[in-house]
Amino acid sequence: MSLLNKAMARLRALLGPDSTGVRQSLVALVLSTVAMSLGGLFLASATDTLEDLPGLLLMVPAAIALRGNVFGALGSRLGTAITMGTFTLSRRLDTLVGQNIVGAIGLSLGLSVVSAVLAKFVAVVFSVSPTMGIDDFIVVSVAGGMLASFVVLAITLVLTAGSVRFGWNLDNVTAPLVTGVGDVATLPALLVAAWLARRGQLTSALAVVMSLAGLAAAVAMFRTALPLLRRIAIESFPVLSVAVLLDLIAGITVEKRLDQFAEHESLLILLPSYFGAAGSLGGILSSRLATKFHLGVINPTRVPAKAARGDIRTIFLLSIPVFAFTAILAQGAADIFGFSSPGFLAMISIAVMGGTFATLFLVAVAYYGTLAAVRMGFDPDTYGMPIVTSTLDFVGAFTLILAIVLVGV
């Protein structure tokens, strides 16, 4: 047997019986990383806008994560329904699919308003000055967020249809692809929505209308007679609000280093794909664990069972090539489009070193966050994704900055 064949045999043995799932995850992660790097290009080309609208950059992690949290959880719930045989595609709003779709749109609208208010609050608390006014934050967050949400919703439903038609496992593909599409859709949408900021009475009037619309959506979801929709609202709004706050604190870390990122624009290209890769890996693990908890394959124990340890091992194996790929794409894009960079080796070192630190956290958060949801009687599909991605954005910001400092950039 050749050396290559021996290596492949050892890899298949290490992956165990789920090598097909690993391939699905890897393909989805590669596609999402490419998509997120495109989002990073939008960010790197918008340094003037970021400087003209102070506070906009701190919203970026929260805006991206909110799309991933809302629609990643949607995909996770639908994936579990497919696995358990309760999924039926229908246009009626009172069905499982209909209530999930309405819930995702309502959450996106209501939490975009919450995100804007919290962004202004966090900026004041952490002495980020000057910043946009509260009406500017609301208009940019809601207008940009809803533009992106309809795109991400369409992709999520396409993935669900593909899962039914072609036998894909949504737990393996939803988190990375929804996150990737969320990056590509959200960043340009925020920049388009930024045109509506600082327009005087127009901005103020839009902010009032959008705030009322967000409040109405939240109230309607909490008061609805549809049981699943009401449960989604009750379980999602609190945890997603906390997730937004954590993402905004992560954004503060980046906002305060805007000059450093502007000096090496390749780091701005890397930023969305780095956060997205960590969130996607955590989302895959969380979704797989949630489904196995639902099916009774694993029990909610403090020490991960054998099936859970297999999923954790897979995430570690995927993390190094995925984070290295984010750096390669960011450096390649910087070279092609003439953006500044600290160099290829520095970019690889930053992404892999920071990604390794982040992976250690994501494994613990994904397992014990899902475990906590199960023990408290909550739906792990609804709680797992937001807990993992928001915590990883918070931790990811610090691990990325730590890696940048350790590399000496």
Is pLDDT above 80 for 120?
yes
Portion of the chain with pLDDT greater than 90, in percent:
25
Contacts of 255 (CB under 8 A, 6+ apart): 55, 57, 58, 128
Mean pLDDT of the 62-73 span: 81
Q: What is the pLDDT of residue 381?
A: 65
Query: H/E/C letters for each residue in 315-380?
Result: HHHHHHHHHHHHHHHHHHHHHHHCCCCCCHHHHHHHHHHHHHHHHHHHHHHHHHHHHHHHHCCCCH
Least confident stretch, 83-87, 190-194, 281-285 = 83-87
Segment (H or E) for 113:
helix 96-125
For the record, the structure tokens of 197 come out as 């900021």
Q: Is it the case that residue 126 has pLDDT exceeding 90?
A: no
Span 196-209, average pLDDT: 92
pLDDT of 393 strictly over 80 = no
Q: How confident is the model at residue 253 (pLDDT cuts 50, 70, 90)?
A: confident
Over residues 128-157, the pLDDT tens digits come to: 777 888 999 999 999 999 999 998 898 888
> What are the extents of the domains in the chain?
15-407
Task: Specify the range with the lowest mean pLDDT, choosing from 213-217, 312-316, 354-358, 388-392.
Answer: 388-392
For tokens 């950039």, name the residue. 409
| CB half-sphere exposure, 32, CA atoms < 13 A | 35
Please give the residue that has the higher pLDDT: either 397 or 333: 333
Verdict on whether the full-model pTM lies above 0.75:
no
For residue 239, the SS3 value is helix
Of the candidates 248, 246, 292, the one whose C-alpha atom is nearest the C-alpha of residue 386 is 246
Query: For residue 130, is the peptide bond before it cis, meaning its omega torsion is within 30 degrees of 0?
Result: yes
Crossing angle of helices 96-125 and 227-255, in 10° steps, is 30
Q: Answer yes or no: is pLDDT of 1 > 70.
A: no
If you search the block for the tokens 């750096």, which residue do you land on?
327
Task: Check whether 310 has a pLDDT greater than 70.
Answer: yes
The pLDDT value recorded for residue 6 is 52
Ranking 224-238, 327-341, 356-370 by mean pLDDT, the lowest is 356-370
Query: pLDDT at position 146, please?
Result: 94
Residue-level pLDDT at 2 = 58
% of the chain surpassing 70 pLDDT: 88
Band (pLDDT 50/70/90 cuts) for residue 392 is confident
Amino acid found at 377:
G
Q: Are 300 and 293 in contact (CB under 8 A)?
A: yes
Omega within 30 of 0 (cis) for the link into 342: no
Please say if the pLDDT value at position 90 is more than 90. Answer: no
Average pLDDT value for the chain: 82
153, containing H or E segment = helix 134-166
Better-scored residue on pLDDT, 230 or 364 = 230
pLDDT at 15: 45
What pLDDT shows up at residue 125?
85
pLDDT bin (cut points 50, 70, 90) of residue 173 is low
Q: Count Cα neighbours of 349 within 13 Å in the Cβ-side half-sphere.
A: 13
Question: Which range has the worst mean pLDDT, 88-102, 156-170, 220-234, 294-308?
Answer: 156-170
